[in-house]
Amino acid sequence: MNFSNVPKELSHLNVFLRCASDHSAKNPTITYYCLLHAFQKGLSMTQKSPPIKAFLTTLMDKLEELKRNNSNCEEIANETVGIPYVEQYALKLFDAAYQRDINSDFGPATVKLFLSAATLLDVVSGVGEVGDDVSYHLLIR
C-alpha cells in the first residue's frame, strides 16, 4: 500500500497511513480502521483543495475495496465489533512492547510496537467512548 501522494496539508495523517500499510498484508481489519480514521480526520478539514479532495477520494475507494474484499469479516462490516477488536489488538501490541522494554530491549522493533499501539489507541479514541484500559494507556503515553 503506497501513500506517497499525500498532500502537505494532510501530512498529519501519515502516522495512520503508515500503520495501515504495516498491517495491510496480515490484518485487513487494522488497515481498514486506520484508513477510516485518516479519512475522517481529512474530511473534517474546513479547506479542501483539489489535491486534498483527490486524496480523500482515493482513500474512500480503498476503504470500499477493503470492505468489498472482506465482506465476510464481521469486524469490518460492523463497527460495534470492529472497534473493540482494534482496542484489544492495540493493547496486545502495547503489552508486547512493554515486555520488551522491561527486558531492556530498546531496539527499533520495540519502538515500532509502541508507536503502532499508540496509533491504534488514537484510532479507537477517535470513535467515541473508550474503555478504562485505553484511557490508562493514553494517559501514560
Q: What are phi and psi of 46, to 5 degrees?
A: -75, -40
Q: Quick one: 53 and 97 in the same domain?
A: no
Q: Quick one: 23 and 51 in the same domain?
A: yes
Residue-wise pLDDT for 87-141, tens only, equals 999 999 999 999 999 999 999 999 999 999 999 999 999 875 545 565 555 455 4
Distances (CA, A) of 32 to 49, 53, 94: 25, 19, 20
CA-based angle 75:78:82, to the nearest 5? 40
Q: What is the pTM of this model?
A: 0.87
* Percentage of residues in the chain having pLDDT higher than 70: 90
Q: Quick one: 55 and 82 in the same domain?
A: no
pLDDT of residue 18: 97
pLDDT tier at 5, thresholds 50, 70, 90: confident
> What total number of domains does the chain contain?
2
What CATH number did the domain enclosing 114 receive? 1.25.40.270
State which residues form the domain around 91. Answer: 78-141
Q: How many CA atoms lie within 13 A of 22 on its CB side?
A: 15
The Cβ of residue 18 has, within 10 Å, a number of other Cβ atoms equal to 17
Q: Mean pLDDT of all residues in the chain?
A: 91
